[in-house]
């Protein structure tokens, strides 16, 4: 016996919503977040959303927050790398 019909429907709706959000956020990111980091951020957001009573309500904002955090992290990493290169050239 499988999961209740409502659970299957909720999972299907979540997968559809997740797919749309991932495509939109990837397009907005312009490749600024490495793919593995982007996937990790979206997976973390989905896990957090499913830990709430209303996962479909929270998924969009959690995904946006996690991906934005990943963007900030990737930007900081690029800045550090650029500074290291500049210091290496200066020496």
- Long-range contacts formed by 6-11: CB under 8 A, 24+ apart: 10/55, 10/56
**Percent of the chain's residues with pLDDT above 70:** 97
Split at pLDDT 50, 70, 90, the class of 86 is confident
Q: What is the mean pLDDT of residues 12-35?
A: 85
- 37 in Cβ contact with 70 (< 8 Å): yes
Q: d(Cα 74, Cα 32) in Å, to the nearest integer?
A: 7
Summarised one tens digit per residue, pLDDT across range 39-77 is 999 999 999 999 999 988 999 999 999 999 999 999 999
**What is the sign, positive or negative, of the torsion defined by CA atoms of 37, 38, 42, 43?**
negative
Q: Which domain holds residue 67?
A: 5-90
């Amino acid at each position: 016996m499988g999961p209740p019909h409502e659970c299957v429907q909720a999972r299907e709706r979540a997968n559809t919503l997740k797919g749309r959000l991932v495509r939109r956020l990837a397009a907005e990111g312009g490749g600024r977040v490495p793919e593995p980091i982007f996937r990790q951020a979206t997976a973390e957001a989905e896990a957090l959303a499913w830990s709430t009573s209303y996962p479909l309500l929270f998924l969009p904002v959690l995904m946006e927050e996690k991906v934005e955090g990943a963007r900030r992290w990737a930007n900081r990493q690029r800045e550090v790398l650029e500074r290291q290169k500049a210091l290496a050239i200066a020496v």
